[in-house]
């Protein structure tokens, strides 16, 4: 059997010196203390596959799909092994040889590629959630059959019944004396799940006299498909989005989602060398960076009488090297002060589809984050990724910790 995709990473794999430094930082290893659940073990398994000592078994699939892509191993590896790239290549190899599953394939081809069916499907899921899931007692027999239960608490599911964010705003939002013009890459989490973040982005940009273009035809960034190993659909979405955004005369393309930002800036170029993708990627900027570097955002602020702490999204800090600008915003908006929490940059356990397929492991990782948030004794936990915030709310609810979880830009919008 040949494994061409993985073989392209043979050199990267051979750079692992088996030192084990990744064991100290890998969240899945820390929970399970299992050598096959850490970067070193996962790399060894990928090597065994290339050398035909191991097939693409369900056990291999499990070790690869339980990697959260938190990049803690990459940041702490003395040899700079790109473990994250090897994991994504392993996923792509599994998908190529075995497919991604019929339901996932249907969703990729018929729903995500088209865009518009997403709104209807998620609305239906939202209705079912409200009518059937929410009223269920967590200790009922039916609940015990559900995958999303941890510590006898049901997973927090956001309201999916609202109309999508993209349908609520015009494509162009002007202002009287514009100082600049940006396009807004919204992303699925804000479009369908946490629209308050999108509302805050609009308010903050308008307040700073920035005109906004929100193309209605924009699609998913492709991250969930990339995580499934479906590079074809990811590339299809990347090219569609690049085509839409590259036509716009704007100073930058902003996003308020750390994962969308990393995918567009850091992953598209790994699946294809393409000029239009490059032009799209280089113009994309995280909203925190844009606000801090391009506006006089502190002017006209009424700081909140709240103590705030911050969780670094893995895909923002280690994925894009951004950790200062969110803190600069939080220090400006909190009159009661900003407080650092313990292990602020430790993964919250979300990982997109990771938390869908491996909820109990993901909840255990999130419980540690919830404890650190509680110990910081703040009124608000802020972050800069809608996915992290959703997962943190779930963990706070499960651990009965009464602290608000908000996006940095929501807090800035509230301070104006």
- Residue numbers of the site for ligand SF4 (CB under 6 A)? 16-22, 25-28, 38-40, 42-43, 67-73, 77, 79, 81, 83-84
Least distance (Å) between residue 67 CB and ligand SF4: 3
Q: Residue 18 Cβ, how far from ligand SF4 at the closest point, in Å?
A: 5
Q: Which is nearer to ligand SF4, 214 or 361 (CB)?
A: 361
Q: How far is the CB of 270 from ligand SF4 (least distance, A)?
A: 15
Smallest separation, CB 36 to ligand SF4 (Å) = 11
Q: Cβ 15 to ligand SF4, closest distance in Å?
A: 7
Contact 245, 215 (CB under 8 A): yes
| Cβ contact 217:254 at 8 Å | no
DSSP E strand stretches across 80-204: 149-150, 153-154, 172-173, 180-184
* Distant-in-sequence, close-in-space partners of 370: CB < 8 Å, separation ≥ 6: 392, 395, 396, 398, 399, 401
Instruction: State which residue, 18 or 131, has the beta carbon closest to ligand SF4.
Output: 18
- Give the burial class of 153: count Cβ atoms within 10 A of its Cβ; 0-12 exposed, 13-18 middle, 19 or more buried: middle
Distance CA 197, CA 221 (A): 17
The CA distances from residue 133 to 17, 155, 160, 290, 400, in Å, are: 48, 10, 13, 39, 20
Nearer to ligand SF4, 18 or 299 (CB): 18
- Residue 39 beta carbon to ligand SF4: minimum distance, rounded to whole angstroms: 4
321: left (phi over 0), alpha (psi -120 to 50) or beta: left
Radius of gyration of the chain (CA): 21
Closest to ligand SF4 by CB, 20 or 101 = 20
Q: Smaller CB distance to ligand SF4: residue 259 or 408?
A: 259
Comparison of 17 and 128: residue with beta carbon closer to ligand SF4:
17
- The string over 48-82, giving b where at least 16 C-beta atoms fall within 10 Å of a residue's C-beta and e elsewhere, is ebbeeeeebeeebeebbbbbbbbbbbbeebeeebb
Strands 252-255 and 180-184 come out as parallel
For 198-267, what is the HEC assignment? HHHHHHHHHHCCEEEECCCCCCCCCHHHHHHCCHHHHHHHHHHHHHHHHCCCCCEEEECCHHHHHHHHHH
Q: Please give the Cα distance from 348 to 368 (Å, whole number).
A: 8
Nearer to ligand SF4, 312 or 410 (CB): 312
If the CB atoms of residues 18 and 275 are measured against ligand SF4, the closer one turns out to be 18
> What one-character DSSP code corresponds to residue 78?
T
Least separation in angstroms between CB 87 and ligand SF4: 6
Q: Residue 196 CB, nearest distance to ligand SF4 (Å)?
A: 29
Q: How many residues does the chain have?
A: 416
Nearer to ligand SF4, 73 or 333 (CB): 73
Q: Check the CA dihedral 391-395-398-402 and report its sign.
A: negative
CB of 361 to ligand SF4, least distance (A): 10
């Amino acid at each position: 059997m040949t494994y061409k995709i993985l073989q392209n990473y043979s050199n990267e794999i051979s750079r692992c010196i088996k030192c084990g430094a990744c064991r100290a930082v890998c969240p899945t290893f820390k929970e399970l203390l299992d050598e096959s659940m850490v970067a070193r073990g996962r790399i060894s398994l990928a090597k065994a596959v290339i050398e035909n000592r191991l097939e693409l078994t369900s056990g291999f699939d499990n070790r690869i799909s339980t990697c959260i892509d938190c990049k803690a191993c990459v940041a702490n590896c003395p040899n700079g092994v790109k473990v994250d790239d090897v994991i994504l290549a392993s996923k792509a190899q599994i998908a190529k040889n075995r497919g991604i599953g019929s339901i996932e394939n249907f969703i990729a081809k018929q729903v995500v590629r088209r865009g518009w069916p997403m709104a209807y499907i998620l609305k239906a899921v939202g209705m079912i959630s409200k009518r059937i899931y929410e009223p269920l007692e967590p200790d009922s027999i039916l609940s015990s059959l559900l995958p999303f239960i941890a510590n006898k608490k049901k997973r927090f599911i956001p309201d999916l019944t609202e109309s999508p964010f993209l349908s609520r705003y015009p494509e162009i939002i002007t202002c009287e004396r514009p100082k600049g013009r940006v396009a807004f890459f919204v992303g699925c989490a804000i479009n369908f799940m946490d629209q308050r973040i999108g509302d805050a982005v609009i308010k903050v940009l308008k307040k700073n006299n920035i005109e906004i273009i929100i193309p209605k035809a924009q699609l998913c960034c492709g991250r969930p498909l990339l995580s499934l190993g479906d590079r074809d659909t990811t590339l299809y979405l990347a090219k569609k989005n690049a085509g839409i955004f590259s036509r716009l005369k704007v100073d930058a393309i902003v996003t308020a989602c750390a994962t969308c930002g990393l995918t567009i800036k850091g992953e598209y170029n790994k699946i294809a060398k393409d000029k239009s993708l490059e032009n799209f990627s280089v113009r994309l900027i995280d909203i925190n960076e844009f606000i801090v570097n391009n506006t006089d955002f502190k002017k006209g602020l009424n700081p909140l009488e709240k103590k705030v702490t911050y969780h670094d999204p893995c895909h923002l800090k280690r994925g894009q090297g951004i950790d200062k600008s969110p803190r600069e915003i939080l220090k400006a908006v909190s009159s009661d002060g900003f407080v650092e929490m313990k292990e602020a940059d430790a993964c919250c356990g979300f990982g997109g589809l990771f938390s869908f397929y491996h909820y109990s492991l993901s909840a255990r990782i999130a419980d540690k984050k919830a404890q650190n948030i509680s110990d910081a004794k703040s009124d608000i936990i802020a972050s800069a990724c809608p996915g992290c915030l959703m997962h943190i709310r779930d963990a706070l609810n499960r651990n009965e910790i009464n602290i608000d979880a908000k996006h940095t830009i929501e807090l800035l919008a509230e301070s104006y």
